[in-house]
A and B are shown apart, each in its own frame.
Chain A
C-alpha cells in the first residue's frame, strides 16, 4: 500500500499534467480556428482553378499533344508516395492513420512489383516509415521552421516534384494527407496528383464557348504545374487543420482522464488517511489500557 506522501505526490503530479494538457487543448483550439480560416480563404482559388483546369483538360486531354503532366508517361512502374504528416506529436492517431494508409499502399504496390519511392513532408511520418522503408526514401521536406503554411511552401515542394518528374524519376505521384471533417474525425486520404486526375466537371463545360489566349495547349501547359502546387497547398492546409483538430480531441481526452485519475487517487488518499488515524487511535487506546 502506498504511503500518504506517495499518494499526495502522485495527485499533484497528475494535477500538473492536467494543467498542461488543458493548456495544449486550448492552444490547439486557437490554432485550429486559424488553420480553418486559411483553409477557408484558399477554397475559392482552388475551386475556380480546378473548374478551369478540368474544362481545359476535358477539351485537350485526349489528344496526343497533351502535356505529360496530364496524360502521364504511359507507365505506372515507378510510384512516388508523398506522405504528409505533422512535425509534432501528441495529436492522437493523426500521424499513425496517415502512415497506416501509406503502408497499406506501399505493400500493395510491392506485391504488384512496382518500384516505390517515398517523399516525406513532416518529421513524424519520416520517423515512422524510416525503419521499414528507409531505402525507398528519396527526400524529406522539413516544415519545423514554418509557423504558418504559405503558398510558397507548397510551390517549393511542387518545384521539387516537377523537377523529379521531368528527370523521369517517377511515373505516378500520390499524396497522403488527412482531410479535415470535424474536430473528432479526420479522414486519411490518398490523392493522385501526377498525372493530374479530375472529377468530371459537373456542369457541361460545352455550354459556354471560351476564347483562349494564348492557345488551349499553352494555357494548359502553364496551368498544370500550378495545379500541382495548388493541390499540395490545399492538402497542406487540410493537414494543418486536421492536426490541430486531432490534437484538440486527444488533449481533451487526456484532460478528462487526468481528472478521473485525480478523483480515484483522492479517494484512495482519504481512505489511507482514515486507516492511519484508526490505527493510531487503536495504538493510543491499547496503550492507555495497558497502564
Chain B
C-alpha cells in the first residue's frame, strides 16, 4: 500500500495546498478524524477547526471555517468555505466570522439557536488553538 496520498486543500477563491502527505487530521462535524492512505472512501462535513497535515515528518496547519472533505484510499480533498494558513491574517478573518456567528446565535430561535451557539464555541475553540 502506498505510504503517501494526494492531499488537496481548496477554497472557492484559491487552491491552498496540493501535496503528498502521510496523514491528515480533520475537524469533522461528528468529531476529529485522521485520514491515512488506504482510508475507506467517505464524505464528511467539517466544523470550524484546525486541519493538520503531516508530510515528510513535518506538520502543516491550516485553519478552516467549515466545508467538507472527500476522502478516498489514495487521496483526500478538503473543500473549505474559507481556509487560512496559521497567522495574523487568518486570525483577523476568523475573529470577524466569530462576530457574525455570535450575532446569528443571538438572532436564532428554538433548535436553530443550539446549532448556532455550537458554531460560536467551535470558533472560539479554533481561535484558542491558533495562538
Contacts and interface: CB of A to CB of B under 8 A. Distances in A.
Interface of A: 38, 41-42, 44-46, 48-49, 52, 56, 150-151, 154, 208-214, 218-219, 222-223, 226, 229-230, 233
Interface of B: 8, 10-15, 28-30, 40-45, 67-68, 70, 72, 77, 79, 81-82
B42 A48 contact: no
A230 B79 CA distance: 11
Contacts of A52: 43, 68, 70, 79
Given A213-B30, A214-B30, A44 B10 contact: yes
B43 A38 contact: no
A223 B77 CA distance: 15
Nearest to A218: B45
Given A41-B13, A42-B13, A233-B12, A214 B70 contact: no
A229 B12 CA distance: 10
A254 B79 CA distance: 43
13 contacts: A38-B13, A41-B15, A48-B10, A52-B43, A52-B79, A56-B43, A151-B81, A211-B42, A212-B44, A213-B42, A213-B43, A214-B44, A222-B68
B43 to A, nearest CB: 5
B74 to A, nearest CB: 11
A42 B12 CA distance: 5
Contact of A45 (B12, B29, B43, B45): B12
A222 B45 contact: yes
Given A42-B12, A150-B13, A151-B82, A48 B43 contact: no
B81 A45 contact: no
Nearest to A233: B12
Contacts of B44: 212-214, 219
B100 to A, nearest CB: 11
B11 A45 contact: yes
A48 B70 contact: yes
Contacts of A56: 43
Contacts of A49: 79
Contacts of B10: 44-45, 48
